[in-house]
Structure 1
Amino acid sequence: MRISAKAIGARGRVGNRVVRPAAMALLLCGTVVSTPFFTPAFAQDYSFSNVVIEGNDRVDAATILSYAGIGKGQALTTGQLNDAYQRIVNSGLFETVELQPQGGTLKIVVQEMPMLNTVDLQGNKRLKDDRLAGLIKSKSRNVFNPATAEADAAAIADAYRTEGRLAATVTPKLIRRSDNRVDLVFEIVEGKVVEVERLSFVGNRAYSDRRLRQVLETKQAGLLRQIIGRDTFVTDRLELDKQLLKDFYLSRGYIDVEVLDATGEISAERDASFVTVTVQEGQQYRIGEVSTVSTVDGLDANEFIDVQKLRSGTVYSPALIENNIARMETLALKKGLNFIRVEPVVTRNEANQTLDIEFVLSKGERVFVERIDIEGNTTTLDQVIRRQFRTAEGDPFNPREIRQAAERIRALGYFGNADVEAAPGSGGDQVVVNVDVEEKPTGSLSVGASFSVNSGAGLTFGFSEDNFLGRGQKVGIDITTGSDTVDSSLTFVEPSLLGRDLKLKFGAYYKTSDYADAFYDTKQIAISPALEFPVSEFGRLELRYRVFDDKITNVDADSSAVLVAEEAMGSPLGSSIGYSYSYDNKIGGLNPNNRFLLRFSQDLAGLGGDVKYLKTEALALAETKILNEEVTLRAVVEGGAIATSGGYTSRVTDRYFGNGKIRGFEPNGLGPRDLTGVANEDALGGNMFAVARFEADFPLGLPEEYGIKGGAFLDVGSVWGLDNTLGGTIDDSAKLRSSIGLSVLWETPLGPLRFNFSKALKKEAYDKEQRFDLTITTKF
């Protein structure tokens, strides 16, 4: 009787296509087993007084005997002998195994698995060797293991699958060398990318397919399918898309929404997929009655009503509820009331599709934060993560605060993944908060190009690091060159000075201009430190100081006497102190369809240096989405004024020109201008400006994946006011200008591209109109 097996095919082929794992497993691991011959009527017993082992080189005989588990003189049945054989084979150390009973001697003949000489990849072009090498567990100078080779082939195939190459095949093969060594080669056929040929929805009534496609991470293949990466079909991405779609509906009051399915069908050629998402929307609900009650003795619920921002008739959103709960719990902490919990009780009114919200103030469990453990951060300092918590060790445990801290950590942008979970501590009243992060690159180096009708072609160079030295600090350097300008800047931001929500900013810039449409040049240098901090939920205040030096040079002899006089002033040193207040309800993200932004700033120059003025600027923006969020309406009103003092007259480097404020006019194309017979009728700018812009962005009916939208705008405004009017010979009055136009906006993978087609409705005879404008900026 002989029991034998051969673990690798004679020609050295280890497996076939990864898409047939069963066949590969047989070929890799189980190859050929020669079963013993059995006589039907009799069972055979064996007893060996001696065991002889042959063929082993690296594995000693005692190890093989331990796998066999056979003792001298032990009576063995045929089944037990076969079990011994299986144990030796399953050790994975031997290519072939033979058990040869020879009277009272058992002869075990083995051929050891070969040593791996080299591990190589062939046929891979899209995925480079260094990326795939990290997936391979088979290493040179290790014993070859067929199961490991199979797992390596599967891992490589999975890497291609995540890139959308579902037809990729990976075949591991062996090349025999001398001295029982082999080369392991993974032959890769990459196949084509499986693109999302069609992305459609079933069951959606409130929102169109085009609107819902904007929500998903998966994109439909379009005009730039060779550049866009998100139109590649990735099965794992569908689960994320289902959650994104559900969150989208929930935030808009569809509390019963269900994303029933998201499936992708692959074409017969395996080069395209068709994704269908089935959704059951339900009905949209709004906030009904809002009330607050207290179950805590001595706690007056009326004190908490004032901090609520929830109003009847508002579209329901989970974020609205969470935000109001956070306000009330924060008020409780300010009043020194720990362990106060606010639980929302929601009552559904089917008849009028409203939700009554009752906030219940109750006493929570006395649980404390024992410690906060942070793992996974190799570069980012612990303190950067810890300061995202409003809770410290020893503080009362608040599950809602921990969830919000997790969101703040993810919002930093430093981590590819961040998990924050609470686990039981050393005692029943203790909790340990575990933070597990996975860092990602936070720096970027970019070289780019830009073009516009106004400034021509230009180059840009930029370096930025959002997590400098792991401290959460931001450093940036930008240099932009145009046909007539050079603009370079340096920025540094410490987001949490002294461990508080206090931003320290430092900025510096150097700008030069050689305007093609003006007969003078300018040079501007400035350094400005600043502090920024919150003053309300949506409001922030910035305090700053600036030192600057502006110079006007090369004024043409045929230019206005105003410019000649300003050049003669040289480069007076200026310094200013100022502040900016901003209110932006987008900070809370509570209403995805409406936004209101308000900015107000003042800068007082003259505490040092020769420049003396007070500059005041304001901006108000209102934005809303209508028609199932497919059309965006926007209104912007802004203005500015410079009031000089101490005998100082403003210069062109101080004044406003309305560039970019009123479309339809060339740069320096409107405002006060010297028309008193000089050859060069340069625009002089004005000490004041006021503009109102009304815009609409809307779809053009093209596939969403093209990224092309339309726009329309109406701009109204003026630039006026000079300190030096040459005895009144220059008209610096506020003369209204207006323009109307259409836009084509294209979000290309290379950068945002915008076409503006404008028509000036009201202008002065000396204004310079511009009917077409094209801008594009790209980084690579």
Structure 2
Amino acid sequence: MLMKKHLVILIIFFLVSPISWAAELLKVGISPLVVYIPKKSPRMGEDLSLMLSQKIKNPKIKIVPWKGEIVQKIEEARKEGEKQGLDYVIMGSLTQIGEKISLDLAIVETGGIKPPVLIYKEIPSMEKLEVVSTEIAQELVYKLLKKKRITRLEIIGNKSVDKEAILAVMQTKEGEIFDPKIIRRDIKSIFKMGFFKDIRVEVEDFPEGEIVKFIVSEKPVIKQIIIEGNKVIKDSDIREVIALKVNSILKEHLITKSVEQIKALYQKEGYFDAQVEYKIIPITSEKVKLTFIIKEGEKAYIKKIIFEGNKAFKDKTLKKQMKNKERWFLSFITGSGKLKTDELENDVNRIANFYYNHGYINVKIGEPQVERRGTDIYITIPVEEGEQYKVGKIAIKGDLLKPETELKKILKLKSGAVYNREQLQKDITALSDVYASEGFAYVEIEPEIKVNSSTLSVDVVYHIKKGIKVYVGRIEFEGNTKTRDKVLRRELWIGEGETFNKIKIEKSIEALHRLGYFEDVKLETQRGEEPNEVNLKIKVKEQPTGSFSIGAGYSSIENFIIMADITQRNLFGRGQQVTLRGYIGSVTQRYTFDFTEPYLFDSQLSTGFQAFKWDTEYIDFTKESSGGEIRLSYPLGYYSRIYSTYHYEKAKTADFNEEIASKYITELADGIATSSIRLSW
């Protein structure tokens, strides 16, 4: 078979004007098919023709309803096609021989002399006819438009970039119609990836379709990044801001970005004259060395911050509001004097807020002017203070839970005082807390501010919409992989079904923090199943609750000493605490076991016990003590408890020296027991 091979060079796609594929619509008619099947419906041929007509969808093809008889011969098709004004006629048959079913179609050009284009398709079963007809319809479109499909798509020349990554940005796919316009778009898309310095396309033409080859040439890989000239900033800090890494593809825009990031890093340190250049040195045809050459220049410091127009407050007071500070003789310790350009805008806002909170509601802070004089930086900030305003009338309107006079007592902003915007927000929060503690979690408080320029006063009206009363729905915990839900739930001051109470919820979160089991405790509120229901989700992050310590020492009395302590503050996730301690020396040995159950039988009663054994060798005798204690405690409020402790100890002496031991010591040889009860809170 004779094959033609042609090369489509990249330059053709960009320099040659796009080929116009627009043409007049092709008028196509489909003759009812001849059906050779033992059991067939009377209109099966017409139905198959209609099925194909509906599946051929292309803006350049117009399917014309068939008006004549069934045609079975080529010449009949040509004549009938001319009669109906068609460009092409599709004719054929559906045949079943035994288990084999086949569809034979012919595309006949009306008024032409070329042989028909034949299409043959085997069908596994009649149930698959619908699916196969879709494939045949697509094949008919290709043949009618005299276009070829892409039978194979190849990516050649890629080494570092995966083929799948390239195909992902392309529209050209195997099995689709070859389209030069799409090829041109794909070339641009591949270039945009930034990995390639050259792309060309080759197309091989075969009767069954086209083989399209995208031949790419990758940019070199960076095998080494060198930084030269830096003294103030470490290599590691510079490498962190560089957008390129070793073994990555060399991309020009990332080099430019890296240069700017290095300059920005130096500017943060006060080196505003720092210059950064780069060199690309080839190692091989595929590998390069990238060198950044830095000229640091001299460091500049803030010499003076100047305010223009301020009368109410001194420069010193306004400077305290800023993060940017002037250099002074202890700057090498405090780090002040560096210009933080990203903080300048925030400094302006801080100064403005300072004025707002002192009654200057019309203050205007201009844009800071930064002037460099050698290594000195001067910052000038213009200020228009305006007049100072005081608080006029205060009113609370809307849904009041308490008399207005009572609610006003909560407010810190008082009539006659200097207007303070920050305090206004705090008062809104305080009022919200009052309502949230009564179940109105969605209360809305909108302040209405009326400025009276003639009296230099500000009237404030708090408009309150309490909304619906809310109840607690589900309380869920998340993150407690060890600690049991019961341990957390018993610390809560609020339960499911109770009225929403912000104060109780805050106390609950505080109580969970106090347990010491969690590194972090966060609360999320979620809408419940009912409009007046709120679900609480408490997210915790557990931290280690066990500890083990061991130590050793030496003293003139004990000689060598060993001390050990094992403690678990959340035993088996039940919230119980257990401690085992040991102290072993040549003179003294002490052993203690302690256990605490904070909620006995899930009640508020806390209990614990301790057992101990102490042995001490004195010059004239040895004292042996053993015993224990039982502890009970009960909460009297949020921050206090009452404690009761029963202590029992039995002591005896042994190994005493009768020559020097006193009569009292020798009488303790049989032992003596003591017990005591202690109350405290």
User: Normalising by structure 2, what TM-score?
Assistant: 0.44
Q: Which has the higher contact order (CA 8 A, sep 6+)?
A: 1
Higher strand share: 1
- When Rg is computed on C-alpha atoms for both structures, the one with the higher figure is 2
TM-score of the two chains, using structure 1 as the length reference: 0.39
More helix by share: 2
